[in-house]
Structure 1
Amino acid sequence: MRLLWAVLQLVLPMPLKRRVGNWFFGWDVHPTAHIGRSMIMVGKLVMGPHSTIGSFNTIRGLEEVVLEEGASIATRNLITGFPPGSDYFAVSPNRRSVLVLRRHSMVTIGHTIDCADRVELGEYSAIAGYRCAILTHSLDLARDRFVAQPVVIGDRSAVMSGCTLLNGTSVPSRAIVSAGSVVTTKLTTELTFYRGNPAEPVRALPERLKYFRRGLVEVASEQ
């Protein structure tokens, strides 16, 4: 049934797609959200106001996908998970195969995201450019077992083209990871430009950088 539903998503108009998903599969898709011609096979999909999933994405095997208000997944992304109880991750019993995009965060074009464990993007953050890889699982060679750990990207941070983020890593709020870098640890210093393999701090960034202030002007104008 779910496979048939995934195929139907490629051809159904958005209003019908939303109704079927909400009624029969327990999704929670806001009337202003939009899903393009993508194949989505997940336990639950939550989409807030004006959130979008573009065309030609494959999103499968996750317990839950959450896009808060204004969050977006552009096009040609491969996002995969492992359902609970998988024998592959017996040594990581507390993992959750979920993807969370906070308000106005974005995944752009042609990225690969492994959601064996949680991947979370903070508000106004971005997996930018194209062909990044986020890996939440790896092979523990000492124990000969697969292990899974979350990957978290902080508010208003950007991971540029061709980066790799390994399991258990994080990017702090208001930080930039340069194109082609490999994140192998938890980066901790805000307002920092990181680069290299492994990614290391290169220089401080000014707080006034417009990217770090996304959304703040909108808030000020409403008050």
Structure 2
Amino acid sequence: MDSNSIRDSYDAVADVYAQGFTADLASKPLDRAMLAAFAEQIPNEGLVADVGCGPAQVACFLADLGVPVVGFDVSPGMVEVARTRRPGLDARVGSMLDLPLGSGELAGVVAFYSLIHLQAEERSSAYEEFARVLRPGGLVLAAFHAGQEVRHLDAWLDRPVSLDFFALRPEEVAAGLTAAGFAVEATLTRGPYPGEADTERAYLLARRLG
């Protein structure tokens, strides 16, 4: 699966995806708690990137906490949904593998369920890109399905797609971030909430060294 497949698949489901996921943080207290803990450690005026932002539910949550945030997604359809949902939100088409940002420009990066579409070598590249755009002491907060399963979908939300979903082992993500120059500060796992897919979720907070 390449970035074109990811882009085209999310373009295909953007409108219906937004209907189901825009407000999903309301029913996820641990997600909100991790985001709030992350936001509390971002210095005043420190910019955060929400990579793989989708309809921008995470970006909007952070913005409501007073965090300056920019959203990136490879899907123009998702970016349009994000802009429609929150007029004035800085949402841009862009890949976490090649962010259109200067080195050290960010105070934080959030990757909520976006690493799960990347191959192993792409994940390593993403961690290195996070390290590039973050200033020393900057934070990464990643959320992902935990495990080793790979699921492929040819249809999703009644639309044709071609998507791979990789469950990731927390220790694998931690090792990848460590190799890219981060120190892992916290790891949390939980079971599914009612109505969610039956998978374990993991959250990992890491700080850029330097």
So what's the TM-score if we normalise by structure 1? Answer: 0.23
| Structure with larger Rg | 1
Bigger relative contact order, structure 1 or 2, given CA contacts below 8 A and separation 6+?
2
So what's the TM-score if we normalise by structure 2? Answer: 0.24
Which structure shows the higher strand fraction?
A: 1
Which structure shows the higher helix fraction?
A: 2
